[in-house]
Amino acid sequence: MISIKDYLLAGAIIVLLTGIGISRWELYSVTKEFNEYKESIHDQIQKNVAEKARIEKEQNDKYQLAEAGYSGALSVLNQRLRDLQNMPRDNTLQVAGCSSGTVPGEATYTIGTQIRLATFKGTCDRDFYEAAMRDTLQCQRLIEFVK
């Protein structure tokens, strides 16, 4: 005959096996959820790394283009400054489109040229103007780059 003790023992075994089964199921569910979360984070990291690489490439291309434009504009400016240094200041200059006309190197109407303005030391130097033109070019290119 089966006694109450056997029923209690069978019930305890059933409760124990059910508890173990539920624990295993919960462990499986948590592990599955964790792995899905881990894959999601990994995918987001990969997308962010790809986006960062794309942005860096765009910025690098933009910088290279701006650098090339600045270098070209600076070489044109330097060439023009060299051409201005070679231009005679005292002689007459040919007028474009007119074969016989010239422009005097000095002003013939001197009434307006007699006024002297107070200047700071060094502001009338050619080097000062060359540096100012280079600074202006650099600022202009930097503003274009930032836009």
Angle at 80 between CA 117 and CA 106, to 5 degrees: 45
For the chain, the structural domain boundaries read 4-87
Torsions phi, psi for 3 (to 5 deg): -100, 170
Fill in the DSSP letter of residue 87: S
- Exposed, middle or buried, 74 (CB in 10 Å: 0-12/13-18/19+)? middle
Residue 98: what residue type? Answer: C
pLDDT tens digits for range 43-99: 999 999 999 999 999 999 999 999 998 899 888 888 888 776 655 555 554 544 445
Ranges of beta strands (E only) in 3-135 are: 93-94, 102-103
Predicted model pTM: 0.48
pLDDT tens across 16-26, in order? 999 999 999 99
What is the per-residue pLDDT across 119-132, written as a single tens digit (0 to 9) for each?
A: 555 445 677 778 88
Residues 105 and 88 sit within 8 Å (Cβ to Cβ): yes
